[in-house]
């Protein structure tokens, strides 16, 4: 499967990507995770994007396309991929379209996780993420077995740097302004599939029925 996961912060893109991966061996490609790994490793890229990400603003289209052009040509992408957090602007969507045409590849769909704003805020303030493997938890709906410790790798789980009230508010505004227009873009391309981003089982069931 070659799928774009589209939706506001906290819609469940990462959670659904991890669940779908287990079904068919497609690889999750999260631009947010790639950038957070660069920050954790203290690379030049990490230093360049750290403040922008903590504020909840977007990294430049040029930087993202440089990363994704390389990433999408790696061997593990041949099995299929789940694009989580990319594309995020119309220029990124146009650039992806041109890149896929060049590579002779086609997307199966752009899956929109449709979710009300109050649920988003609640999910983002209760999410916890593993500092090592990126496993996603939620103190209300998916707590780890031992508080603060990742079930998968035993590392510490924390809140992300962009989970302050101010950064969440900014991320939602940025989404509405720059990313939401992608819904119409992919509808016009005949690729849009919308599912309500309610509980995980219902989302997975809706996806199975629609794809
Ligand atoms: P990114 O990491 O992509 O963050 P985001 O889009 O803000 O989305 P989140 O990761 O916060 O939410 P999610 O939809 O993955 O939800 P999750 O599954 O965790 O981007 C971060 C930053 O990187 C950006 O702000 C920007 O600076 C930069 N960036 C990244 N890509 C870029 C790009 N292409 N261009 C420019 N800049 C870029 O779920 C949230 C919580 O809800 C969890 O606790 C989970 O357990 C729970 N949950 C999820 N689904 C369900 C469900 N169905 N039912 C109940 N609980 C659920
Ligand atoms: Mg995510």
Read off the CATH number of the domain in which 87 is found: 3.40.50.300
Whether 171 is in a domain gets the answer: yes
66 CA to centre of ligand 1 in angstroms: 21
Q: How many domains does the chain have?
A: 1
Whether 71 is in a domain gets the answer: no
Domain of residue 153, residue span? 2-26+79-210
pLDDT at site 139 = 95
pLDDT at site 199 = 81
pLDDT band for position 74 (50/70/90)? Answer: very high
Substitution site in 6, 10, 18 for ligand 1 pocket (most atoms within 8 Å of beta carbon): 10
Whether 153 is in a domain gets the answer: yes
pTM, full prediction: 0.95
Say if CB 88 and CB 64 are below 8 A apart: yes
Any catalytic annotation for residue 160?
yes
Q: Which one has a higher pLDDT value, 50 or 209?
A: 50
Whether 182 is in a domain gets the answer: yes
pLDDT at site 200 = 84
- Alpha-carbon gap, residue 178 to 88, rounded angstroms: 7
User: Which residue in 36, 88, 123, 128 is the catalytic one?
Assistant: 88
pLDDT at site 210 = 75
Q: What are 138-187's pLDDT values in tens digits?
A: 999 999 999 999 999 999 999 999 999 899 999 999 999 999 999 999 99
Whether 124 is in a domain gets the answer: yes
Whether 132 is in a domain gets the answer: yes
Whether 72 is in a domain gets the answer: no
Whether 162 is in a domain gets the answer: yes
DSSP letter for each residue of 12-33: SHHHHHHHHHHHH-PEEEEHHH
Sign of the Cα torsion 66, 72, 76, 82 reads: positive
């Amino acid at each position: 499967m070659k799928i774009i996961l589209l939706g506001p912060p906290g819609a469940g893109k990462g959670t659904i990507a991890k669940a779908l991966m287990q079904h068919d061996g497609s690889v999750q490609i999260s631009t947010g995770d790639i950038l957070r790994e660069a920050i954790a490793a203290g690379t030049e890229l990490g230093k360049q994007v750290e403040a922008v990400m903590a504020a909840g603003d977007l990294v430049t289209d040029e930087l993202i396309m440089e990363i994704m052009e390389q990433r999408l040509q790696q061997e593990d992408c041949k099995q299929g991929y789940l694009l989580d957090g990319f594309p995020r602007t119309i220029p990124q969507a146009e650039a992806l379209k041109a890149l896929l045409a060049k590579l002779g590849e086609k997307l199966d769909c752009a899956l929109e996780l449709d979710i009300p704003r109050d649920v988003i805020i609640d999910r983002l303030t209760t999410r916890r993420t593993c500092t090592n493997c990126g496993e996603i938890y939620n103190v209300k709906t998916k707590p780890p077995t031992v508080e603060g410790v990742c079930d998968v790798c035993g590392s510490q789980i924390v809140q992300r740097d962009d989970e302050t009230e101010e950064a969440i508010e900014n991320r939602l505004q940025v989404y509405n302004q720059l990313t939401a227009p992608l819904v119409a873009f992919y509808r016009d391309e005949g690729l849009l599939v919308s599912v309500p981003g309610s509980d995980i089982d219902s989302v997975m069931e809706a996806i199975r029925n629609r794809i």
